Structure 1
Amino acid sequence: MRRRDFLTTAALTGGAWAGLEVGEPAAERSGTETRSPRLEKSPYYEFSSDSKECLIHRHDTPVPWMNLLGNDRFVAWVCHNGNIVESCLINNESNRLTNHQSGYLYVRDADKGDYFLLNWPGKGSFWQSVQGLGYTRITTADLELTVTGTYFVPRDEDVLLWLVSIKNNASRTRNLDTFGLVEWCLGDLYRSTILPGGDFPGLMNNFKRVQYSDRILYANNYAWGTLGQFMGQKAWPYTGFFASSLPIKSFDCDRFLFLGPTGSFRNPRAVQKGVCVSKPAFGFSDFPLGVLHSALKLGAGESQTLVLILGIVRENSDALRIRDKYGNAAAAEKAFRELKDFWGNYVGQSFVVATPDPDTDRLINIWIKYQHRASMLKNLNTGRRGFGVWAPAYGYGGGRASDIREVGNVPCDLELIKENILDYLESPSPLLLESDVDLKWKPPARPEPPMPYPHDGRGLWPYPVCWYVEETGDFSFLETELHPKTTHPWMSKTEPRSVYTAMKGAIEWAQSGLSERGLPRLNPGFGDWNDGLSLISREGKGETIMTAMEICYMLKHCVELAKAWGKSQDAEEWTQQYEHIKTAVNKYAWDGEWYVRAFTDEGNPVGGSRCEEGKIYLEPQAWAVLSGIADEERSAKCLKSVDDLLLTELGPRLCAPYNKPAFDVGIVGDFGPGWRENGGIWNRTTAWTVMANCLANRANQAYEMYRRAAVSNASKNTDRFWLPPYVYPEFYVGTGADFGRGQFQWCMGKTGTMWRAHVYYILGVRPVFAGLLVDPKIPNEWPGFQLMRPFRGATYAIEVTNPKGLNFGVKSMVVDGKSIQGNVVPAYADGKTHEVKVVLGA
């Protein structure tokens, strides 16, 4: 099969199952009813024919549906109505440019005085929004005008462009006014750290200045503090600017002057009057505005495009340069085409799947890749890319071990994964420029609670390095020398500082502080991956079973890497450590039908059958199988317990919910039943459990669990789910009246794990050190599937057929017309495309 034929079949989008000719229909082969494609239409939205756009038909979604627009440096959260929730350079605390009252565009008929707001349709007027890959587009038809605004961040400049097209549908010439509006933040921590989401003015507003020059509004803050430190030590090192491609007729900087004493953002006084005050300002009682008013004249049927430019620079001369660069519609439209090409290439040139499940194909081929990649940011000090945006509710950052695990889940850009690993190992500093955070005065350090044990996940980063080497086959990466000043606690003081010696140190460090029973201890007042388990270890004697299992998973992968690289002594030592912890877990944590979650200071189990509430937790059941700790019998039992005790129509709960505060467990019991860690449905833990089911050969259960939990399923009931259907949130409410409601949209930590569970475990195509393993675990009604992916310098077009309606088991494999033994395809590394045909059978 040629590449273009495959891409046609797969449609890049997951938009349709190709109808492979693989023998008898699935229903006849398996005796079961074949699932119909689940492409149901919602009254709120639908996806475009190529699945790269979510078309939103109603402005009144239950909550605003956001899109993350950015270029690895400058990012903006833009809602489906064009409201710019925030924009910032790298960090949304210290370098936030604008606040949430931004992105509004008013269009006014200057002859009649009527006006409308692009972002919010008038009664009976046409309105549609599009959330696309890297852009948000809104179209409104009112007052015999059609206005389309496209918001996007070009790949090469730290700006947000509004490309606005206005068409006169009337049979007469029209004189029109436009008003574009932003609300300045200018590095002010106040809103995010003191009153999150509030509108109370920040103290920094007294030192903010907005002035107009050269058709540009410039905004500065002369009293700035960073990273929560004392404000007022120096000026914010950036300048915000707002410009237009049209001549400026008037402008406003003050909220009161623009809105008027009785006005609102829906009906501001300046728009009603058709003119702004044009008064610069220095010192505010509230966050300052930036409003640009322009005029244009359109003949009957005529259209015109204007460009609004919102950006952040260190020198005013750069603002002039950028204004001139994008100050005409042709240049902005060219930048928009380049942006679409970037995202089209990214989602289309890595992994492409075509299965009988078009909803999941759309997520796998496009939207998970997009959500994952859009969340990456660049370290301004090193220039390396990596983890950046966790979720709008949690802010931005990096420098955590879990970041590496999340970035490595979606291997569409291996160079990015490499950069992220090295940046974590060498640069624990913030992503901001070090010169900007080196203030003369610093507040006294707050006392930190003691953390004698490393069992908060920091020492578990080596296994994503194993993933990276499996993907690339590049063992030389392990020899990469690290900066001599790297200060992580696992860094060797005697051996050369390489990635591999750092791995060895981390493996040793991760096992320091094991209890007498051989289980990892919890730090006093802290949980593990589940930080809701904060009171299990008040005295530092509590033990975590999940971390024990994750250490074993790490050791297992590192043993395989060491063997493949000829480090037999390390492999032997790590195998012994693995067996020691495995034995301890099976001895102390097996509860008869499932594994307990942890032990308190007093040795009481958490998540055990003897517990009054919270009898079972999901994580240890998944990790027991993933790590190889559970044998076949125990794997079957603990996964069956998940089915019986935790599974819902939207996937498995994180735990059996607590119905009253759990004072001996932690803040997990402070949430209502079904909320957050108290029985919420988390896609990451679901994905772990799907992988475990696949490894246990429970293919039907794995797929059904995945299908239920996928955002494509949860979002079918928009009035229940609330959140956008194109990206994963942090969790779904797991029980009660709010069951199924999504919480914290755009959570990067969930999306990659769901991608990995589907591609690597359900479809079963994943790298091993020897090559590319093909080990599908699919529903028996599937006739087969197709997948194309790059791997170690070659491309593999894989077609799996299932003529007997089985779940797993490779009967034959043919590569380029030649039969090969087993189910591992060699790494050809020849730059060619290789056809791989796999038949399932006993």
Structure 2
Amino acid sequence: DQVCFEGKLDFIKTKLKITLDPEEPVEIRCLEVENQGNREEELEVTTIFEPILSTKAQDIAHPAFNNLFLIFNYENNILEIKRKKRGKNEKEIYLESLYTTDAETIVDNEFEIEKERLKQRGDLSLPIAVEKSLPFSNKLGLQQEPEVALRKTIKIPAGKKVSITQIISVNEDKIQAIENLSKYENLENIKKAFEISKANIEAECRYLEVKSKEIELYQKVLGYMLFDNPIRSRQIKKINISNYSQSELWKYGISGDLKIVLVKIRDINDTDVIEQVLKMYDFFRSKNIKIDLVFLDEEYHSYENYVLEEINSKIEDKHLSYMINQNAGIFILSKNEMPKKDIDLLNFISCFTIDTHKGDLSHIINDLEEEYLASIQNIPDEYIYENSEEEKYKSEYNVLKSTDNKYFNEYGAFSPDGKEYLIKVNKNNRLPTVWSHIIANEKFGSLITENMGGYTWYKNSRLNRISSWQNYAFIDIPSEIIYLEDLKTNKKWSLGLNPMPDENDYNIIYGFGYAKYIHESQGILQELETFVPKDDSIKINILKLTNNTIERKKLKIVYYIKPALGEDEVSSNGYIKISYDDNSNIVLAENLYEPNFKSKIYVTSSEKIKSFTGDKKFFLGKGGLSNPDGLRKVRLNNSSGFGKQNCIAIHIEVELESMSSKEILLNLGASESLIDAKNIAYKYSKISNCRQENENIRKMWKEKLERLQVYTPIESINIILNGWVLYQTITSRLFGRTGFYQSGGAYGFRDQLQDTLCLKYINPQMMKNQIIKHSKHQFIEGDVEHWWHEETSRGIRTRFSDDLLWMVYVLEEYIDCTGDSSILEEETSYLQGNVLQDNEAERYDIYPESNVKETMYYHSIRAIEKSLNFGENGLPKIGTGDWNDGFSEVGNKGKGESVWLGFFLYHIIQRFLPYIRQKGETQRYEKYTKILSDLQISLNNNGWDGRWFRRAYMDDGKILGSIENEECRIDSIAQSWAIISGAGNQDKQIIAMESLENHLVDRENGIIKLLDPPFNEGDLNPGYIKAYLPGVRENGGQYTHSAIWAIIAESILKNGDKTFEFYKMINPIEHSRNKAAANQYKVEPYVIPADVYGAGNLAGRGGWTWYTGSSSWFYKAGIEYILGLKIEKGILSLNPCIPRDWKEYTIKYKYGRTIYNIQVKNPNKKNYGINSFTINGKETKEKCIKLQDDGRIYEIDVEM
């Protein structure tokens, strides 16, 4: 009926009692405080919780996304948290919380909802606001990573007892939630709640015929089911190890999604336990605890089937027959009718196994616990050198000391050449939020942060994570940690800032393909360089240790990994088994319950591994990550971790002479087979091989990224274009398909196609390969998979209306650039699958390859034909979203139309017409020409609102993007694409862009909003975009994609000053020029953000970074539309659109072995166009040059 926690500090005794309202979803937390001293005491009582208001699965999958739908309010001493509904079938959820007391109050209710005001970043200790009694702000606002705190300050007279109670009420109805809460403002009702709860539980137990000792037993079983279950590891040790798949259970009607309690019965004399187990099952059901109860009949084969009959009889006696073979039900299986592998699987996956021949439930549990306790190894602690005095070593290393560094903002700076980003932090001076980096090849990679956080993946960055993806920017606790210990002083610390920092600085260097972490502690300089080889699936960590003291040093090093070996650590916990191969000096890990990836994960070192463990509880103990118990042991316990909470940890030791250095390796890799794992591990166990590969990686990235370099008067433009956006696009979008804030792993049909737009200048073959890849994910009907996982062949078929057209757009871009029209004749196959039903918005499934193959030309035709679906306004139908995924209910009934899609379709068809003519399809050519004419008329008539273009028509005829609207009066992309497509009438183009500037450009915060005002409480219901916080992501923030399209539109209108003003304004480097700017913007200065928030207290704050298609578009806008470099069918020309005050700029372009040095001068202070084009001193009337791979150097002088 309640939970109690008691404590005492000095003369203050506390008792926290927790119970639930017997009928309503209300939790009561009553803290009784007794002053046993002889003087009056004043106490601050603070409660802190993190609001979720969603399913556990939703929060685990993507916490950063899950947080974007919470709204806060405070009224009448009640703190309210509302989760906005995302879909039409969802309901809003309200949490109401009240603090009440019978004590004399000194300071009445205070509240805080901003995590940054409560805690320090990365600090796992007591919140600083509590420790230092910092005042709460009592301010509301939008929150990206919320945490709620409520506080009262009370007086307690000597010898008296008082109570303070927090009530939490949750409901889908706000009024009901408040009413349920309000009745507990009366302290008598709080007391009654505990009494009623007790009475109800007693009545329930009488009804269920359950005694208190039985409940204690059930709760013990429940604890083993839900939390750490050490006895399970003893049970599954006896199972023959193999790879298991959840789908093998389905033929027995068992989903495998719920916890399974397995009951084995082999003798009729053991059936008394059945009644106990059924009673426990019934008790769990009364508490809405869902499990699958599986009886396994192990009786030797006989015709009578006594055991089976007895099981059924007992179930019938408990009136539970209706639960047989139901979800969260009872299943009866016979060992004689099952293959051994299925029996092993059942034993393996069951969270609790009851062997009835061992006695009743109580005896079974006691025996299992005793067996486990007897198995625990007693590993001694290290010798503590009590008399050794810890010397203080102040680090002198400072990565930011050079005055030649660029854009120094007190947190970091770019190196003098702009190719590295340098950061210096310590535990008292942390970054505003995570500044991450990605190192990757096409099948393996690692996301890292300034705290050495992040994670590593193999093949798929979502479905096959090696270490755990942590999506909490504020805390950023690493999943891979290197601990060090001076064995003489017993001083311990972590190589990275989290989770065990010392007082010295932590220096970080991010470069293309690598990162460095430099720290000094105990007189030991530690320099870690981490990178991923060009082809091999291994993360190399070269750790150089330098002993700068006069004493010989002996160090213990522990490399700790929080493994996922699948999608997340929650689903894999207990299923990972690790082992040590002494001959190869590698620790191997394998997830035996991962259906899609059978990878061998391994950890290795250049030093001999002295011990290891897979047992997380053993390693962390009570000290946790910030002071693990395992570090105090003389060795780790060499446990496989199988069946337990998992980790991977290895222990090595290193000796350093005075003033000497040593390099060691700590590597993490993955492979498909054991022999491959051993071979790769051996290859990279040699320092010389790793150093050589490090050089190879740097050369490879230099070659990729420096084929095109620009030198303009604005250094921030040079830095971002000369490597960083290309690196971002290739590593995050094309290789990893991941970022700190979003880890998808899948290919998005429109996403990775657009990502290749920047590659046409440096690697058009990659662009071509991507087009071909995506064409194979088009259905025979012309539509496409919105996204898919290559490794599992699973994808989602939707009613998005723009995806299919992006293939045609990028195809046109490729041919226009290279002149390679032969791609149109390349044949690829289609997918096949059932089309979506009328009431079906999407379907996630495996879609097989069809027997139909066609050329890319006809793939494109099918995409265009599928898009020729016009509504009553003559505009293409939007479906369940066009480019804006959040417009999920604009046209889900089949009538809604998209103005933007009309401009996009116009642009696509217009560019494709020449290929239709070349093909000789006269009838199709005339048809499409007529469609273009009609579409342009509809866009300029029905798409025009008077001062700008509308965004869309909804199913019910309501308009998005109209001056008449309360919300979403104007949307950016309809204006920009009116110009980009050329379909907008010329007079309307100019008016539309003026309106865009007046309504959507926020110079104060340096952003260009997608739409304004944001959706919030208005009458329009366009879809899940409305659930976002106002000003966040698509809902009225800067969606950088659209901001860049606006810049491109300005350049087409030849507004050079404005074009560059906006381009510079959204450059992340400019958002972080100094500490104040960096504190507002918060996110990384060196990569393009997907979004920047646009409203309230979050305005100007960067959103999700790295994983965004904006990086490719930013590059295209800068190179092609501002600096004016055009490559059309292999011919290079210049058509700049720059500020008038630019005197000159330079482009160095490497085409194959040939170098083109392009000098552009602007003596006439022009914005647009060129007067002369000179090649090696000779002016050419054509003002262009055909690109040739002839190994020569061409000096090109252009005058505007």
TM-score, scaled relative to structure 1: 0.85
Alignment-derived partner of residue 54 in structure 1: 421
Three-state SS of the structure 1 residue aligned to 2:908 is helix
Given that 2:737 and 2:1107 are in contact with CA atoms closer than 8 Å, whether structure 1 keeps it comes out as no
**Match of residue 517 from structure 2:** 138
Separation in structure 1 between the aligned mates of residue 696 and residue 445 of structure 2, nearest angstrom: 17
| 2:820/2:1129 contact within 8 Å kept | no
Verify the 8 A CA contact 2:443 2:460 in the aligned structure 1: no
Q: Tell whether 2:1024 aligns with 1:645.
A: no
Q: Deviations over 1:776-803 (max 9, x none)?
A: 1100000021112246985432211100
Q: Which residue of 2 aligns with 1:775?
A: 1135
Assess if the C-alpha contact under 8 Å between 1:81 and 1:138 holds in 2.
no
State the AA in 2 paired with 1:103. Answer: E
- CA distance in structure 1 between the aligned counterparts of 2:1180 and 2:1193, rounded to whole angstroms: 17
The alpha-carbon distance between structure 1 residues 675 and 38, as it changes in their structure 2 partners (threshold 3 A), is farther
Compared CA separation, residues 274 and 714, structure 1 to 2 (3 A): farther
Secondary structure in 1 matching 2:1145 = strand
Match of 2:864 among 507, 517, 527: 507
Q: Deviations over 1:7-39 (max 9, x none)?
A: xxxxxxxxxxxxxxxxxxxxxxxxxxxxxx995
Q: What is the CA-CA distance between 1:71 and the residue it aligns to?
A: 0.9
- State the AA in 2 paired with 1:182: I
Asked if the contact 1:110/1:274 (under 8 Å) is kept, the reply is: no
Asked whether 1:753 is paired with 2:753, we answer: no
Identity of aligned residues (%): 24
Separation (CA, whole Å) in 1 of partners of 2:801 and 2:936: 16
1:282 is paired with a residue of what secondary structure?
Answer: coil
Q: 1:464 aligns with which of 785, 804, 810?
A: 810
The one-letter amino acid of 1:81's match is N
| Alignment check: 8 A CA contact 1:427 1:486 kept | no
Give the direction of change, closer, same or farther, for the CA distance of 1:569–1:695 in structure 2 (3 Å limit): farther
* Closer, same or farther: CA 816–547 of 1 in aligned 2, 3 Å: same
| Structure 1 pair 486–369 and aligned structure 2 pair: CA distance change class (3 A) | farther
Task: Give TM-score scaled by structure 2 length.
Answer: 0.60
Opposite residue 952 of structure 2, the aligned amino acid is: A
1:639 counterpart letter in structure 2: M
Residue 546 of structure 2, aligned match among 164, 167, 171: 167
Task: Give the alignment of 1:1-20 within 5 angstroms.
Answer: none
Structure 1 residues not aligned, in runs of 5+:
1-36, 192-200, 227-235, 379-386, 439-444
Q: Which amino acid aligns with 2:673?
A: E
Partner of 1:636: 990
Q: 1:299 to 1:793 in 2, by over 3 A?
A: closer
Cross-structure match for 1:656? 1012
The structure that is strand-richer by fraction is 2
Tell me, what secondary structure is at the counterpart of 1:610? Answer: coil
Report the counterpart of residue 324 of structure 1 in structure 2: 682
Partner residue, 1:305: 663
Do the aligned partners of 2:588 and 2:602 also contact (CA within 8 Å) in 1?
yes
What residue is the counterpart of 1:242 in the other structure? Answer: 603
Q: Is the 8 A contact 2:832 2:850 kept in 1?
A: no
Structure 1 residues 182-235: Cα deviation after superposition (integer angstroms, max 9, x where no partner): 111111x355xxxxxxxxx43x42332112222221111111244xxxxxxxxx
- Is the alpha carbon distance of 1:362 and 1:588 closer, same or farther for their aligned partners in structure 2, counting shifts above 3 Å? same
- 1 CA distance for matches of 2:741 and 2:534? 21
Show CA shifts across 1:692-736 (max 9, x none): 001111111111011111111123322111211111221000121
Does residue 1189 of structure 2 align to residue 839 of structure 1?
no
Q: How many angstroms apart in 2 are the aligned matches of 1:351 and 1:268?
A: 49
Q: Deviations over 1:225-249 (max 9, x none)?
A: 44xxxxxxxxx41111111110112
2:764 corresponds to which of 388, 399, 414 = 414
Structure 2 SS opposite 1:748: coil
Which residue pairs with 2:695 in the alignment? 337
Rate the CA distance shift 1:419–1:116 in 2: closer, same or farther, 3 A: same
Question: In the alignment, which residue of structure 1 is the partner of 2:436?
Answer: 66
* Corresponding residue to 1:477 among 805, 815, 823: 823
In structure 2, relative to structure 1, the CA distance for the partners of 1:629 and 1:836 (3 Å cut) is: same
Are 2:482 and 1:112 equivalent residues in the alignment?
no
Does residue 255 in structure 1 map to residue 616 in structure 2?
A: yes
* Aligned match of 1:207: 575
Deviation at 1:55, TM superposition (A): 0.5
Instruction: Report the CA distance shift for 1:431/1:584 in structure 2 as closer, same or farther (over 3 A).
Output: closer
The question of whether the paired residues in 1 share the 8 Å contact of 2:830 and 2:852 is answered with no
CA distance in 1, matches of 2:830, 2:433: 49
801, 805, 813: which one aligns with 1:455: 801
Q: Which of 293, 298, 308 is the matching residue for 2:651? A: 293
Structure 2: 5+ residue stretches without partners: 1-403, 470-477, 779-784, 836-848
1:808 and 2:1168 matched: yes
CA drift at 1:538:
4.4
SS of equivalent residue, structure 2 residue 624: coil
1:504, CA displacement in angstroms? 2.1
Matched, 1:682 2:1039: yes
Instruction: State whether residues 407 and 414 of structure 2, in contact with CA within 8 Å, keep that contact through their aligned partners in structure 1.
Output: no
**Quick one: which amino acid aligns to residue 95 of structure 1?**
N
- The reply to whether residue 398 of structure 1 matches residue 747 of structure 2 is yes
Structure with more contact order per residue of length (Cα contacts < 8 Å, sep ≥ 6) = 1
Alpha-carbon shift at residue 123 of structure 1 (Å): 4.3
> Highest CA radius of gyration, 1 or 2?
2
* Counterpart contact for 1:656–1:679, Cα < 8 Å: yes
Give the whole-Å Cα distance in 1 for the aligned partners of 2:417 and 2:660.
Answer: 30
Native 8 Å contact 2:829 2:850 kept in 1: no
Shift of 1:821: 2.4
Instruction: Answer whether contact 1:251 1:291 (CA < 8 A) is retained.
Output: yes
User: CA shift at 1:487, angstroms?
Assistant: 8.1
1:595 equivalent among 937, 944, 949? 949
Q: Using the alignment, how far apart are the partners of 1:390 and 1:80 within structure 2?
A: 14
What per-residue deviation string (whole Å, max 9, x for no partner) do you get for residues 575-625 of structure 1? Answer: 332222111100101112110101122322211111122211101010000
Q: Given the superposition, is the C-alpha separation of residues 56 and 164 from structure 1 closer, same or farther in structure 2, using an over 3 Å criterion? A: same
Q: 1:274 to 1:635 in 2, by over 3 A?
A: farther
1:168 CA drift (Å): 0.4
Deviation at 1:651, TM superposition (A): 2.6
Distance in structure 2 (CA, Å) of the matches to 1:748 and 1:658: 22
Deviates more, 1:142-151 or 1:398-407: 398-407
TM alignment of 1:617-632, pairs within 5 A? 617-632=971-986
Structure 2 distance, partners of 1:38, 1:330, is 31
User: Aligned AA for 1:87?
Assistant: T
- CA distance in structure 1 between the aligned counterparts of 2:929 and 2:620, rounded to whole angstroms: 69
Give distance in 1, aligned partners of 2:853 and 2:502. 70
Q: What's the Cα RMSD here?
A: 2.8
Deviation at 1:277, TM superposition (A): 2.2
Q: Give the number of equivalent residue pairs.
A: 756
CA-CA distance at 1:68 after TM superposition = 1.3
CA contact (8 A) 2:447 2:739 kept: no
- Taking the aligned partners of 1:554 and 1:466, their CA distance within structure 2 comes to 8
> Which deviates further from its counterpart, 773-782 or 107-116?
107-116
Mapped pair 1:739 → 2:1099: yes
Q: Which amino acid aligns with 2:907?
A: Y
From the superposition, tell whether residues 41 and 179 of structure 1 become closer, same or farther in structure 2 (CA, over 3 Å): same
Which residue identity does 1:680 align to in structure 2? G
Tell me the equivalent position of 2:877: 521
Matching of residue 182 in structure 1 with residue 561 in structure 2: yes
Q: CA deviation at 1:113?
A: 1.1
The answer on whether the counterparts of 2:1015 and 2:1025 sit within 8 Å (CA) in structure 1 is no
- Cα drift, residue 568 of structure 1: 7.5
Q: Which amino acid aligns with 1:556?
A: Q
Q: Give 1:816 shift.
A: 2.8
Which AA in structure 2 matches 1:620?
A: A
AA in 2 matched with 1:638:
A
Superposed, 1:221-236 pairs within 5 Å as 221-226=591-596, 236=597
Q: Are the equivalent residues in 2 in contact too, given 1:774–1:825 (CA < 8 A)?
A: no
Q: Residue 272 of structure 1 aligns with which residue?
A: 632
For 2:1155 and 2:503, the matched residues in 1 are separated by 52
